[in-house]
Amino acid sequence: MDEKNFLAVQFEASRAHLQRVAFRMLGSREAAEDAVQEAWFKVSRADTADVDNLGGWLTTVVSRVCLDMLRSRRARREDALGPAVLEPAIGEDDSAYPERETLLADQVGMALMVVLQTLPPAERVAFVLHDMFDLPFDDIATIVDRSPEAARQLASRARRRVGGGAAAVRPDIERQRVVVQAFLRAARGGDMQGLLAVLAPDVVFHADAAAQKSGSRPELRGAEAVAANFHGRAQAARPALVDGVLGLAVAIDDGPVFVVLRLSLRSGRITAIEAVADPERLSGFEIEVLDELPIAEA
């Protein structure tokens, strides 16, 4: 049997497992099948002479395809699949993975699949590969293009979010965006009363050491102090999801994000703002800049 035929046989033998991996990441049988097929196109053209662990390598290829698909989905501003369209797990015959698949059947119900779809792409991939398929963080790091420690942090954040099951589903981002957009309009326009309207009376602002070097105050407390700090500023800030949580990202034109403002909101007001400019911390964030909401007509 020549190398290509051998590879095709091994890929077919692994197909069910690869579809399970893709399904956990993408949440759709059709998308999982597309990902596995795309992986085969890549695998069939690759040189496998130096591949020692073929099964692990195939999982890596499929995972990278899934990560690209998740990022493309977000780039197109597509909504994640909702609970009405979630599908049963792929593979009726799980005899090849009895203990793992029994565990997954218990853990990955509809609520958890909904939660998984709210996670940022790299976080979701790290969690699925490590917690569901036991892939080492050294291998995951090469897939998500992070250090092993950063990959571990991605999985840890995902684990905290999915730990509460359905209760961990992402909050109403669109409702919060109205508050954040009002904050931006007031800050850019120098509207002090508008800022005070969206800041909690006891709001706290913190800046990391890198942000302080750029001129940020280390800490501010109270709505008036924080409002004065942002009065006439935030011109380059844009609403963004930072690890799946609404915040602000600051970049010049189409350049890289150099400051993130992590926000805490409660009862329609901003209760805390953390300015993060440390490059190492920024590299560990999954950042999705959002379109700004249109300004309502008066």
pLDDT tens-place string over residues 107-143: 444 445 666 777 888 888 998 899 888 889 999 999 9
Q: Do 144 and 9 lie in a common domain?
A: yes
Does one domain contain both 38 and 150?
yes
Distance from the first to the final alpha carbon of the chain: 74
Let me know: does 175 contact 219? Beta carbons within 8 Å.
no
213: domain CATH number is 3.10.450.50
Phi and psi at residue 148, to the nearest 5°: -55, -35
Residue % of the chain over a pLDDT of 90: 37
Report the domain count for the chain.
2
250 shares a domain with 156: no
CA torsion 242→280→124→26, rounded to 10°?
80
Radius of gyration of the chain measured on its C-alpha atoms: 22
Q: What is the pLDDT of residue 175?
A: 81
pLDDT recorded at residue 295: 57
Distance of alpha carbon 294 from the chain centroid: 25
Relative orientation angle of helices 148-162 and 110-118, to the nearest 10 degrees: 130
Domain that holds residue 9: 3-168
Is pTM, for the whole model, over 0.95?
Answer: no
Distance in angstroms (rounded) separating the CA atoms of residues 66 and 19: 11
Long-range pairs for 216-222: beta carbons < 8 A, 24 or more residues apart: 216/275, 216/277
Q: Do residues 24 and 159 share a domain?
A: yes
pLDDT band at 204 (very low <50, low <70, confident <90, very high): very high
Residue 55's nearest CA partner among 108, 100, 24, 13 is 13
Reported as half-sphere exposure (CB side, CA atoms, 13 A), residue 178 has a value of 7
Tell me, what's the pLDDT at 77? 46
The residue out of 168, 193, 218 marking a domain boundary is: 168
Summary mean pLDDT of the chain:
80
The b-or-e profile of 85-115 (16+ CB within 10 A means b, else e) is ebeebbbeebeeeeeebeebeeebeebbbbb
